[in-house]
Structure 1
Amino acid sequence: MADVNERYSLIARSIHWLTALMVLTMVPAGLIMIRIGGGSLQNQLFDFHRSVGIVLMVLTVLRLAYRLTHPPAPLPDSMPGWQKFAAKATHVFLYGFLLVNPFLGWLATSAYGAKISVFGLFTMPEIIAKDRVLSEQLFQIHLVLGLLFTAAVLMHIGAALYHGLIRRDGVLSRMI
């Protein structure tokens, strides 16, 4: 029986919490930016949202590479099979989203004809020709995926709190 109380490495925990911080700032910025009128605040939110999205995409590639070489300890044997499945499925979705949706946002932004300046340090290349109709379609998909992602993040947080506060089975403490 493996030690389910084995903590994630400092690198894994750091990447996890950096990702969490970025997601918990980027998602609200994205929701606000599409609901306020044009102007400098909206432009700043778009720049922030796009910059964080690009950084998250790169960070996720690094995180997946690290995870492949440093697998986490198994979940507790006492955890029902459906919860183990849900945990794995949620993680697959979260990782997939953090790769696909920022790329989709980059694609949609390129089709819109806008530039993505990553925190003013460099500008991402355009990856598709300007096409406003396609851009609108891609942004709609980006939004729907973002809402699904938000639901998955809330489920992930709820499950972590359940395991840490109610079950007290060591699952949450591995990442803290």
Structure 2
Amino acid sequence: MAEVNERYSLIARSIHWLTALLVLSMVPAGLIMIRIGGGPLQNQLFDFHRSVGVVLMILTVIRLAYRLTHPPAPLPADIPPVQQLAAKATHVFLYLFLLLNPFIGWVATSAYGASISVFGVFTMPAIVAKDRALSEQLFAVHEVLGLLFTAAVLMHIAAALYHGIIRRDGVLSRMV
């Protein structure tokens, strides 16, 4: 097996792990907030989930701009083409999700008539008029995409562990 020695830059690794931390806190908050009754805890979880979504959307734009100017090292040549394709497809989906689903959440929240205060620092403007039927449809799409995203994140983690523990090919160590 060929070992990959080239690590991602400190900036790329920092953005990756900040994104991971935010995702691993936001997803459970989102799952819990829609399953508990109304009240202060649910309101706090909604505020947290929305705030993190906005931060992730901004962070993803920064990450993509950085990645365009600092492309990662290629995967080892002995990784089967189907695995390389799966890795690329998963990354594309993760990036698309990190841009699209927070935007859908923003539109849905606007249509619901709620505001998005980002950690109390600023408030996102409403981008559509209040329309409860539209908000319900968009929140349903947001939830389905969130579940698909969670599956992709779990696949990403499993693949990283596979490379780090089983293959020991250096792919995981590039990001740690």
> TM exceeds 0.5?
yes
Cα deviation digits, residues 57-107 of structure 1 (max 9, x gap): 000000000000000000000100000000000000000000000000000
2:123 match: secondary structure: strand
How much has 1:4 moved relative to structure 2? 2.7
Q: Give the RMSD, CA atoms, in angstroms.
A: 1.0
The two structures have a TM-score, normalised by structure 2, of 0.98
The structural deviation recorded for 1:51 is: 0.0
Cα deviation, 1:9-64, whole Å, max 9, x if unaligned, reads 00000000000000000000000000000000000000000000000000000000
Deviation readout 1:113-153 (Å, 9 max, x if unpaired): 00000000000000000000000000000000000000000
The residue type equivalent to 2:163 in the other structure is H
Q: How many pairs are equivalent?
A: 175
The 4+ residue runs of structure 1 with deviation greater than 3 A are none
* Aligned mates of 1:5, 1:151 — CA distance in 2: 28
1:8 and 2:19 matched: no
Partner of 2:139: 139
Work out whether residues 111 and 135 of structure 1, in 8 Å CA contact, stay in contact via their aligned partners in 2: yes
Distance, in Å, in 2 between the alignment partners of 1:132 and 1:107 is 11
Matched, 1:41 2:41: yes
Structure 2 partner of 1:107 = 107
Hey, what's the Cα distance between the residues in 1 that align with 2:79 and 2:138?
39
SS of residue in 2 equivalent to 1:127: coil
Aligned match of 2:56: 56
Distance apart, 1:3 and its partner CA:
7.7
TM, length-normalised to structure 1: 0.98
Matches within 5 A, 1:15-30: 15-30=15-30
- Give the percent of matched residue pairs that are identical in Structure 1 and Structure 2: 83
Q: Which residue of 2 aligns with 1:148?
A: 148
Distance in 1 separating the partners of 2:3 and 2:125:
46
1:8 and 1:175 in contact (8 A); partners too: yes
Contact map agreement 1:75 1:171 (CA 8 A) in 2 = yes
Question: Does the aligned pair in 2 maintain the 1:3–1:73 contact within 8 Å?
Answer: no
Structure 2: 5+ residue runs without aligned partners? Answer: none
Is contact 1:56-1:98 (8 Å) kept? Answer: yes
- Which structure 1 residue ranges, 5 or more long, are not aligned? none
Partner residue, 1:68: 68
Measure, in 1, the Cα distance between the counterparts of 2:165 and 2:104.
Answer: 37
Classify 1:163/1:3 alpha carbon distance in 2 versus 1 (closer, same or farther; 3 Å).
closer
